[in-house]
């Protein structure tokens, strides 16, 4: 399939999940994909802001060989409701819990990228009895500035953001630039609320589960100081830095990313 637009890319990634045997489910307006033959352990993959479940298409089929894998569209993202209005972080965490309850899993491992890492930490803090392991990939959630703008108003800003996300030598397709410019006025990120109330700096010490922190060496969005703060604040944590990856290691270096997950089973 030739990719000519953001919509084409979304269709391709979601079709890849379906081709790998993942099944689309929906509960209370939240769409999620489930796959894998094993009853346990259960992995829940949580995407970042402005993203959708298909972002995990490069690694989800491999994880499903040994785990039960659940991949939600966060509220306001992908096919999940609400399509309009604010997206309070508390709502996002609650909807994630609805997916967990629907899965019937007594315990699970959470893997979260960027904003999804923040949500995974908040879920772990709210439901410590449910989470057995946490993986934070280029995670946000701290009261620290990012290194990159998040909204592009012109092509130069779009190029800067895309290279911060994908690496300094990344050459984006025209459709990627167009998609980023369109998000300047209409994107789920602009609808997210309650961010200040839910920063986790002072709560890192309360995360008691084993935690794997994964960072791309070329991440130009969330600075390495975030990774260091997470490692220092979470007692049972280890840090892996992946060369040749930026803000989305699971897509940019999937094999190396999977190697960092050797202890999740």
pLDDT at res. 212: 98
pLDDT at res. 46: 98
**Rounded to whole angstroms, how far apart are CA atoms 111 and 173?**
28
Q: 6-259: which CATH topology?
A: Rossmann fold (3.40.50)
The domains of the chain are located at 6-259
Angle separating helix axes 174-182 and 155-166, nearest 10 degrees: 110
Q: Name the nearest CA neighbour of 74 among 51, 55, 102.
A: 51
**Rounded to whole angstroms, how far apart are CA atoms 60 and 68?**
10
pLDDT at res. 41: 80
In the chain, which residues have pLDDT < 50? none
pLDDT at res. 106: 84
Q: How many CB atoms lie within 10 A of CB 27?
A: 14
pLDDT at res. 238: 97
Stated pTM of the model: 0.97
Chain segment 85-118, per-residue pLDDT in tens: 999 999 999 999 999 999 888 889 999 999 999 9
């Amino acid at each position: 399939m030739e990719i000519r637009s953001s919509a084409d890319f979304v269709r391709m990634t979601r079709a890849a999940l379906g081709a790998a045997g993942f099944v689309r489910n929906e509960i209370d307006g939240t769409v999620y994909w489930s796959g894998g033959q094993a009853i346990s352990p259960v992995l829940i993959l949580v995407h970042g802001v402005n993203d959708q479940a298909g972002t995990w298409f490069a690694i989800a089929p491999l994880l499903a060989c040994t785990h039960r894998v659940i991949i939600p569209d966060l509220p306001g993202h992908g096919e999940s409701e609400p399509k309009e209005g604010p997206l309070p972080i508390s709502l996002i965490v609650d909807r994630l819990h609805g997916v967990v309850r629907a899965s019937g899993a007594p315990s699970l491992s959470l893997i979260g990228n960027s904003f999804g890492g923040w949500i995974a930490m908040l879920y772990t803090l709210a439901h410590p009895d449910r989470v057995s392991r946490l993986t934070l990939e280029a995670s946000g959630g701290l009261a620290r500035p990012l290194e990159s703008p998040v909204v592009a108003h012109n092509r130069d800003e779009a190029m800067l953001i895309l290279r911060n996300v994908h690496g300094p030598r990344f050459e984006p397709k025209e459709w990627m630039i167009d998609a980023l410019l369109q998000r300047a006025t209409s994107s789920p990120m602009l609808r997210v609320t309650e961010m200040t109330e839910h920063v986790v700096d002072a709560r890192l010490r309360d995360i008691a589960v084993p935690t794997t922190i994964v960072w791309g060496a070329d991440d130009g969005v969330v600075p390495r100081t975030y990774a260091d703060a997470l490692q220092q604040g979470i007692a049972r944590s280890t840090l892996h830095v992946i060369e040749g990856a930026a803000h989305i290691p699971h897509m940019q270096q999937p094999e190396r990313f999977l190697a960092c997950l050797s202890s999740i089973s």
